[in-house]
Amino acid sequence: MHTHIIPKKLPNWTEKFGYGKFIYLEENEDKSANMMQGGQFFRRILENCWDEDLRINEYQQFDTQVQVVCTIPVLFSYWAKPQDGLEVSQFLNDHISDLVARYPKNYIGLATIPMQDTELAIQELERAKKNGHVGIQIGSNINDENLSEERFFPIFEACERLGMAVMIHPWQMMGFDSMKKYWLPWLVGMPAETSRAACSLIFGGVLERLPNLRVCFSHAGGSFLPTLGRIEHGFNCRPDLVAIDNPVNPREYVGKFWVDSITHDIDALEYILKMQGSKKVCLGSDYPFPLGDLEIGKFITDAKLSPQVVEDIFCNSTLEWLDLKKEMFL
């Protein structure tokens, strides 16, 4: 339920809009491509980032038929002017809805929406739903604002009303500039970002006010579940700081949201399963990126989990999170 895809051809938005560092792909001779951010090299990516048949074949090696696809967070472009952010979102969403229409048994789509503008975000959310998306992927912060900010609430409310699932993905990691060495933004910043998002949605009362909102946190919830004892203790010992917008203990929400299985560690996965229950842990891969679980689900198959738990992780949890029926893919 957590894979990233990009269209092979992207407009040169930096040129078109006349500002900013929009992502643009430059093809290499070896079939890879360089993601350029403005004019600067960002990352080299391989064909499996966009080649739909290759992706299906690579997945089949791990007996996996269906991929939930969403964009790569660096394309969120929340910093852009709202109308331009909407145009970027529409381009990316149309690419995915076309893909899902052509391969309904292999791909499920999550849209991106311009979170920098509440009205346009809801407009694109509604359009995405009409075009076959079953949810959205959003960042762990929006231009450094927490997801608890009131101006985001109508977006979450619209997701609940429309039955659109929400996947929270870490991006624009806190401390990025001060810890670039050793890949620390990815190793330290990302799990912290996801916990930041979970704490914001809980302490801000978003999950309390929208009990039917279906949220899934990336990377097994980042550092949220492993540090829940500390978070709960903080809630109890300094309610004047923590419980100001929602009086409910954060532990009450465990098992009400979903997380993916990307832990790379069976002990960590067992802990997550114990906390969440197997119906709330979904098979995620982060394919096709190197930090992902690229031998998709193998460490889960190799572990001594019950067949029911494995089946929940491999399909039931994702189907419930997205409100889809298994028969659609048989």
Q: Which residues bind Zn ion (CB under 5 A)?
A: 286
**79 vs 289, beta carbon nearer Zn ion:** 289
**198 vs 309, beta carbon nearer Zn ion:** 198
Ranges assigned E (strand) in 270-320: 281-282
Q: Helix %, strand %, coil % for the chain, to 5?
A: 50, 15, 40
Full DSSP string of 155-191: HHHHHHHHT-EEEEE--S-TTGGG--GGGHIIIIIHH
Q: Which token pair is 188?
A: 């330290």
Residue nearest to Zn ion (CB): 286
Closest CB 113 distance from Zn ion, rounded Å: 17
**124 vs 286, beta carbon nearer Zn ion:** 286
Closest CB 2 distance from Zn ion, rounded Å: 6
Tell me the C-alpha distance between 185 and 243, whole Å: 29
Closest CB 222 distance from Zn ion, rounded Å: 12
Task: Name residues whose C-beta falls within 8 Å of residue 239's C-beta, 6 or more positions apart in sequence.
Answer: 247
Closest CB 49 distance from Zn ion, rounded Å: 12
Burial 33-71 (b: 16+ CB within 10 A, else e): bebbeeeeeeeebeebbbbbeebbebbeebebebbbbbb
**87 vs 286, beta carbon nearer Zn ion:** 286
**286 vs 293, beta carbon nearer Zn ion:** 286
**210 vs 259, beta carbon nearer Zn ion:** 259
Are the beta carbons of 24 and 14 closer than 8 angstroms? Answer: yes
Q: Which token pair is 15?
A: 């040129």
Closest CB 264 distance from Zn ion, rounded Å: 14
Report phi then psi at 120, rounded to 5.
-65, -35
Closest CB 289 distance from Zn ion, rounded Å: 7
